[in-house]
Amino acid sequence: MGKGIKIVTIGGGSSYTPELVEGFIKRYDELPVRELWLVDIEAGKEKLEIVGSLAKRMIEKAGLAIKVHLTLDRKVALKDADFVTTQFRVGLLDARAKDERIPLSHGVLGQETNGPGGLFKGLRTIPVILDIVKDMKELCPDAWLINFTNPAGMVTEAVLRYTDHRKIVGLCNVPIGIEMGVAKLLDVDHSRIRIDFAGLNHMVYGLDVYLDGVSVKDRVIELLSIPENSSFVRNVEGQGWEPEFIRALNVLTCPYHLYYYKRDEMLEKELKNFKEGTTRAEVVKKLEEELFELYKDPTLSIKPPQLEERGGAYYSDAAVRLISSIYNDKRDIQPVNTMNNGAIASIPYESAVEVSCVITKEGPKPIINGDLPVPVRGLVQQIKSFERVGAEAAVTGNYDTALLAMTINPLVPSDKVGKAILDEMLEAHKEHLPQFFQTVDV
């Protein structure tokens, strides 16, 4: 441990990277990073160089001895890594635009991690993640894989189900965003709040809320029944909950629940954006262009505040807190995606779930919740079925399995509509879905 830590970030040219670098700088005393390798592909080379230069300026300004390496060769980077973080987007933002716009053209919600868009992001991403795991097995078998790439639940499910690599933790900034939001609602410091999270990625619920170890759930639910207090995450804007509904549900929701409990209202809003050419992908594209212009400034040596508009707020807090807790065997409690191991009774033991865990040097130890409350159990099980079947389709390239995954998602109204969307999206993403287009030599 004395030699310092080697961290590899795949998707290093991401606009999120300054968040991560800021996190490593802040926690350097407890997490002595020696080398940070930022890895990208040829198409991301320019962004990698811009972000890499900013990362070097940030570290220089902090006066730390972290050596930053930039490379397009993943295997060179992975050799003897201690932690590998993944934050990439197969097909870049143009693929996200298709994920959003094609379903909307059929009158179905198009979104990055939910419905048809979430399925297709999984179909493109999972084969790449499995390749990365294969390289890790060869080059850094003891390294932890910290995955931030969406759909994080389906990706974690695929690694657990189709590889023997168990050192994977899926991470999302939604739970920490909810914690921060609750702290703000109660006007207290974030460190005083703890929430018992259970469910799936972007389908997670807060079963209880504690302030200084004392449950304040009833008070928080009452505050959340006020419409303007409903949403905590900037990249999902919706309407407030009906007060009677949120009181009856009696658990904290996450912003992505809007797509399921307010499907018509969210679809109407997305269709309006679609017609105006301002779906989230277009908004993010514009934000990214502005961010990279800022990043290019040779005098910039801090993370610009505009990055929070990108939807990655608290990412560095969540990611670096997790890495530090594994490295230092802190045994603190954090919500992550990991193998269920009986934490949620109605989800298979070996499946991925997003739950509060004790974080140890052996990885996350899920806190046993018994079962989810009846009002939310069915929806969580349905989304878990979608994730499992979607992961299977990604690995096998089987058309029928992909159609099944598409149709069992609650945002898709029928198999006929699902098939029309599937056919159009397969064609649109053909370049990044070779598993569906392999020809068999006779």
In the set 16, 205, 256, 327, the catalytic residue is 256
Task: Identify whether the C-beta of residue 314 lies closer than 8 Å to the C-beta of residue 30.
Answer: no
Beta strands in 87-190 (DSSP E): 144-147, 168-170
CA-to-CA distance for 428 and 426, rounded, in angstroms?
A: 6
Q: Please report, in angstroms and rounded to a whole number, the separation of the first and last CA atoms in the chain.
A: 54
Residue 256 appears among annotated catalytic residues: yes
Burial, 276: exposed, middle or buried (Cβ in 10 Å; 0-12, 13-18, 19+)?
exposed
Distance CA 442, CA 434 (A): 19
Phi/psi at 46 (nearest 5 deg)? -65, -45
Secondary structure percentages of the chain, helix, strand, coil, to 5: 50, 15, 30
What are the CB-based long-range contacts (under 8 Å, 24+) for 414-419? 417/106, 417/107, 417/108, 418/116
CB 113 within 8 A of CB 123: no
Residue pointed to by tokens 């159609």: 403
Beta bridge partners of 85: 9, 146
Find tokens 């700088």 and name the residue.
Answer: 25
Yes or no: say if 129 and 159 are a contact pair by the CB < 8 Å rule. Answer: yes
> What 3-state class would DSSP assign to 213?
coil
User: Which residues are identified as catalytic?
Assistant: 256
